[in-house]
A and B are shown apart, each in its own frame.
Chain A
Amino acid sequence: MRIAVAYKWAGDPQEANVGPDGVVDMSRAKPVVSDYDAVAIAVGRQLADSNGAELIGLSVGDPAAAASMATKTALARGLDRVVVVTGAGLTSAGATRTASVLAEAVRRIGGVDLILTGDSSIDAGAKLVPAMLGGILGWPTLTDADKVSISQETVTLTRVVGDQEEQLAAGLPAVLAVSTDAAAVKAPGMKDVLAAGKKPVEVIAVTDLADAHAGEGAVRSARPLDPPARRRVRIDATDPAEAARTLLESLRADGVLALRKGE
């Protein structure tokens, strides 16, 4: 049995620079395997151990995603081996192209029974890659999976949607996006880091895959986020009662709260 975990090597936009022309410069945001993707790897490790399965990490990105720093970081989280598909511009590719390249890689690896993904990527955060990947492969796809277990033919999971907790079963092969707290994630230890250096890494150039390069539209204009200007009125709450009065009076004066009775 083979389980693949899709993880992204990307930086946090919180650390990015946005130019006055609206162009986003991610070069200062240090790439990581995000906490959410680490959860998917942890779930995969548990499933692989209890089912004697192989656990393969799969990532699509710029050449940096194939650097040994990147692959070792991912492998130290408990993957048996990794496959990285690289090409310039792939890290910032949209979900459609990312998913189509991932699908090609899954076909190339062959014999994959289950693909796990994180809840959302740290940079795009669209929560769409698993859905598109499942759609392209034609495999049953579910998201927000909490407790996951597998048998030869099925994967069983729980998830919370709205105020319902559901238990679901899907036939394999399938795609599952795990919730952000589906497994506890712990920092890799020294042993994991050393072992990571010895595990197999396969790098595939995207040009060697049938890359259905999805069009991503023509960008007409870009600008930095221009949030509504806020008044930033400071109210010191050293005296909480006084601060409470000041705040409520201000909100009433603004018409956000109703006036007190009698006024």
Chain B
Amino acid sequence: MPTYLIVPPTGGVDRLLGIAAPLDGPVVALVVGDTARAESVAHSGVDEVRWIEAAPQVPAEAYAAAVAGIVTSAPGVLLAGRDPASRVLLGAAAGAIGAPVLVGVDEVSTEAGTVVVQHGVYGGIAQRTTVFDGPVALMIDAGGVTAQAGAAPITAVEATPQSITLVSARSTGGGAVDLPAARRVLGVGRGVKAQADLALAQDLATALDAELGCTRPLAEGLEWLPKNRYIGISGAHIQPDLYLAVGVSGQLQHMAGVRASGTIVAINSDPSAPVMDDADYQVVGDLYKVLPALVAELAGNA
């Protein structure tokens, strides 16, 4: 059974390759994108590339039926990232072959032709080991693209896109950010009372050389920070050496994205906030006083 990596025009493949490594069968990348994208994926360590050239002004999602078609002719294990285009392509492919899908995958191995997956359920409140004797689709953080020696052959696949067009695009000015790769992350929550006060958090993040992230309400609803900065089950899954949760209550949906952190520090005025149980250091106090004190202390030692 082949393992397919579903690869849209942007995003990585390294973690998908890591998951694919122990599985039997060839690793086939299904790439939607331009020539350069197909080339770079061909050098990432896959066995084979099937390449659908995306037409100008046509988003990757328009090739969902084409990707599903390729998979249907030889079903296998499907792996994809968590970004919107990956989800649509993976969903269409898995739907076409009736493969079960899992998110929150921790580990994959193989035994006598079966695929054994260790994964979280219900947002990670419990874990299961599930054995599949046929195709299964797994959604994981894709990681980056690391060039390897040797190039896999690329076969171009003709495909007619579904009717989706990109009318226009503009930058939101938020800037790209790779939270999953950050070594230190400071996450802010609704304990911050006004958008202007984010400066306090940004100052500490700068002093610590940390990326600034947030809980979902700050990015959606309040829109104080761009959507690519929120952390949690439906946002970024991070694994820094140090995570500081500042004015974050620690709801399950947020903590699901930070559990892989090395050290967790919670700064919260409520000693019984759920985040405290998940923290190595529980700083009980007002973030408006603690953040400036930390900045001052770090500056004093510069």
Contact = CB atoms under 8 A, between A and B. Distances in A.
Contact of B282 (A94, A232, A251): A232
A135 B90 CA distance: 9
Contacts of A132: 91-92, 94-95, 101
A180 B221 contact: yes
A197 interface: no
B163 interface: yes
Contact of B283 (A24, A164, A235): A235
A179 interface: yes
A162 B268 CA distance: 29
B172 A166 contact: no
A141 B64 contact: yes
B297 A241 contact: yes
A167 B126 CA distance: 39
B166 A166 contact: yes
A108 to B, nearest CB: 18
A248 B297 contact: yes
A230 B301 contact: no
Interface in A132-155: 132-136, 138-144
A139 B120 CA distance: 30
A120 interface: yes
B91 A141 contact: yes
B114 to A, nearest CB: 9
A256 B241 CA distance: 7
Interface stretch (B23-31, B193-201, B227-235): B227-235
A237 B283 contact: yes
A128 B91 contact: yes
A260 B207 CA distance: 13
A234 B279 CA distance: 9
Q: Chain B interface secondary structure, helix, strand, loop or mixed? A: mixed
Contact of A225 (B125, B166, B228, B281): B125
B191 interface: no
B265 interface: yes
Contact of B252 (A13, A245, A254): A13
How many of chain B's residues touch chain A, expressed as a range? Answer: 35 or more
A168 interface: yes
Nearest to A172: B163
Given A99-B95, A232-B282, A235-B282, A140 B125 contact: no
B127 A225 contact: yes
Nearest to A242: B293
Contact of B126 (A22, A127, A136, A241): A22
Contacts of A218: 130-133
A230 B264 contact: yes
A95 B167 contact: no
Interface in B112-161: 116-117, 120-134, 136, 139
Given A140-B163, A170-B164, A244-B294, 9 more contacts: A131-B64, A133-B91, A140-B64, A163-B171, A171-B164, A215-B134, A221-B129, A224-B126, A244-B290
Interface of A: 13-14, 16, 18, 22-24, 26, 94-96, 99-100, 119-120, 123-136, 138-144, 156, 159-171, 179-181, 212, 214-228, 230-238, 240-241, 243-245, 247-248, 250-251, 254, 256-257, 260-261
